[in-house]
Chain A
Amino acid sequence: MGLPALLLFLAFYLYPALQNLQFATRRWDGITEPEFVGFRNFTNLLTNDDLFYKTLGNNLEFTFLVVIFQTIFALLFAVYLVNNSKVNIALRTLYFFPTILSSVSVGMIWLFLYDPNFGALNLFFNKLGLNSFALNWLGDEKSALYAIAFTQVWFHTGQMMVVYIAGLQQIPKELYEAAEVDGASRWKQFRNVTWPMAMPTTLVVMAYTTIQSFRAFDLIMVMTNSTAGPNNSTNIFSTLIYLTLFNELRLGYAAAQTIFMVIVMILITWLQRQTFGKRYEK
């Protein structure tokens, strides 16, 4: 009964994944005969490619910022909205709303908000007299990556908040009651009850957000008009791979880049588990 699923999975998931390993050892433009180059794609990436290191740096910075801020805000709003009152449920529905939009739509909305000439954000800052805050958000290589990271957090905080609320509602009420009897402050209750008890959820949220941030591809493509930002300042692995494949027609090189992307992704998730998982077990 599982046969159709199994066949599809083998043909278009597992087989390509293995083929990708083979591609990574070729120099190939997709048209002429591929040439076997051994590990040269990998050594080139590591020793002779500034763009690769810039992309790695961008991706790490982007992921770090998005994971930290999205997790903090998701937890904060979950703590605020954990009780099932009417107002809270309405706010949850509103906060979750961006999640159902497409990245392309979200990208277009923020493209307008960030626009240096017509955008609502700069209009807002100028009206407040804070003209120095009115930047060319997406056009300046100093701010472009942060602007997109902010949009990403705006996009998915509501989704992770809902995951947190499900987790927080599992925490036994007696723990809070006991803490209150002991006269623990709200911060102490958070520190000693909520945070440790919600740690399994935190790990899920961080792992999911990490993968999600690696997939910010759509958002970056829309917001930078299918480039990777001024001076590659918003190039992350997924955009780099796509541009190597389509603009440079270097299939083998792009395949080697995907392998590095997966290694980095796995390393980050492992690191998160090491840092937070250990403390949780204590």
Chain B
Amino acid sequence: MKSVLRVGLRRGLLEIKEFFREKDAVIFTAALPAVMLILFAAIFHFKAPGTNVPAAEIYTTGLMAGGVASTSFVSMAVAIAVERDTGGLKRLAGTPMPRSAYFIGKVIRVIVLSVIEIALLLLIGIVFYHVKPPRTIALWWRLLWLTLLGSAVMGVLGVAISSLPRSSRSAPAVVNLPFIVLEFLSGIFIPFFMLSKAIQHFSLLLPLAQLAEGYRSVLLPPTFAHLEVGGSWNQLAVLENLLAWLVIGFVASVFSFSWGTERALIPRPKAALKPGPKAIA
């Protein structure tokens, strides 16, 4: 177990090095949610009804959730599809590396990238849009676990969906459709309280809507809470939902993941492989 963690850590460091050396990818991955935030804040000037929370603050929280999802879900799915195509996965599968170490490395990667993304968006919100940093230690703590758990959940879902594209060329197209739909349903582009009640109830089954609600509870004033489903922020529901999706994503990943070889879960035909009476010495 100790060596799995050690190898996973090394793998994570290698992944992070690799990511940060592709400077154009780093800049554009980090910039996408930031640019969207700046655009939305420039386009919309409403205030949430019954509060004096401006649109820019709402969008800051929404794009924090969206940013975690894009650095985890999208980049993970695309990166794995590329590794599968280039033979990198197959090469790893040919070594004695514990398979779980690979996923530990991926989790380390998405968490580091998500923390950086959140810090960037928070900084933009604070500097340009009068977002107030979390007021209490408890809220900072909530910000931390939301980010860690949220990126882990979106990361495993990215791993699960990475087996869907037939090649790395089609991966961005295949991954972006469900991602954009998810973002709309989760109130990232259109504030959640503006969606119909039916959509809100449905979306709260999805992890991204819950993550976005979590970020609203960290950064928006308590007066905003009456716009949520149920009229309050439900931290426990967020936690339960994310943990459930973590399990779902993990199970789906285990069942769908391919190392670029035959699917790992097809049972091997043991009867045919056992040495027969004429044992091979």
Decide if A and B are genuine partners: no
Interface residues of B (CB under 8 A from A): none
Binding site for B on A (CB under 8 A): none
